[in-house]
Amino acid sequence: MNTLRDLIRSRPIVTAAVVTVFLAALPFLLGNNYYVRVATIVGIYVILVSSLNIIIGFTGMFSLGHAAFYGIGAYTSAMLTTMAGWNFWLALPVAGIVAGIFGTLIGLATLRLRAVFLAFTTLGFGEITRIVILNWRSFTRGPMGIAGVPIPTLFGWTFDRYGYYYLVVVLAALTVGIIYRVYHSRVGRALVAIREDETAARSMGVNVFGYKVLAFTFACVFAGIAGSFFAHFQRFVSADSFANLESFAIITMVALGGTGSIFGPILGALILVILPEVFRFLAQYRGVIYGLVLILVIVLKPGGLAGVKGIFEKPKTPKRRKRR
């Protein structure tokens, strides 16, 4: 694993070229619409998982309601395009912004408090979002959902079938790229300092509350963008797609892949999207599978497959401090 990592690090351009060619050729290698569809879903989860990782892995906060922001993005985009006649390319960023605004509000309300309050609030917010969507019939069409969400088009070209795949690859690559840059910037260092020790981060001159709200908002923007894409890909949105089980699935992917690592969660998304497809006959046990995976990760490998630092790990510091 280390040698592979070194190889990637020493030849970044070659690696990027190989990955690009592979991703471009993938639909033709798969040669089957159903497989390409699964690959597209993986792409959506890569965006969701990478963005949740900003919250859990980089900053050490705990959100149990990431699917709510995903859903807000999906509904924003679906409603703007079907009811107000907007263009997809305009609705996509706006969906991100709307989800980000909700993220900011939740952040401002809870991030001054201890970490558990964010977990409780986001859990509640996830449920509230679902119930509001389900019951506000005049606005969201309630349990009927919104059908006929338009297919994105660009200069007369329609993004159907393989088009969706390429679009999500671009969106996911942009997301991961931006997150990578931020992680290795001054802002990224501030977030890691907060995760490691808030008091110390404060005495380094980090505005802890401000950066927590920023990180949370940033993550919610990407969730909203993933939601927008999902709405236009599925061409139908309903509250069921954004229930708390969905948040739980995203958390499991982050935990399996490895919190705090950039590429680990991508691996987690890949495995946990493909696995239920392979074991189709176990479809009704999806929740059970996620639960089992989460337990196994916590017990066997708390850092995840590629984790830098797991949220489920016990802090190592006290043990080490004794060894003076």
Helix axes 264-278, 286-300, angle to 10 degrees: 140
- Shortest distance in whole angstroms from residue 307 CB to other proteins: 11
Instruction: State yes or no: residue 24 binds other proteins (CB under 8 A).
Output: no
How long a stretch of residues is the chain? 324
Look up residue 239 and give its amino acid.
A
Residues 203-222: x where in contact with other proteins by CB under 8 A, - otherwise, as a string: xxxxxx--------------
Instruction: State yes or no: residue 301 binds other proteins (CB under 8 A).
Output: no
The rounded distance, in Å, linking the Cα atoms of 256 and 244 is: 18
Nearer to other proteins (CB atom), residue 106 or residue 208: 208
- Residue 4: alpha-carbon gap to chain centroid: 26
The rounded distance, in Å, linking the Cα atoms of 174 and 221 is: 13
Nearer to other proteins (CB atom), residue 276 or residue 302: 302
Nearer to other proteins (CB atom), residue 195 or residue 232: 195
316 CB burial (10 A radius; 0-12, 13-18, 19+): exposed
Instruction: State yes or no: residue 320 binds other proteins (CB under 8 A).
Output: yes
Q: Residue from 31, 199, 299, 300 that binds other proteins (CB under 8 A)?
A: 199
- Shortest distance in whole angstroms from residue 209 CB to other proteins: 9
Q: What are phi and psi of 237, to 5 degrees?
A: -125, 145
Q: Residue from 21, 200, 295, 296 that binds other proteins (CB under 8 A)?
A: 200
3-state class (DSSP) for residue 158: strand
- Hey, how many other C-beta atoms are within 10 angstroms of the C-beta on 256? 27
Nearer to other proteins (CB atom), residue 48 or residue 54: 54
Nearer to other proteins (CB atom), residue 158 or residue 185: 185
Positions that interact with other proteins (CB under 8 A): 186, 189-190, 192-193, 196-197, 199-208, 308-309, 316-317, 320-321, 324
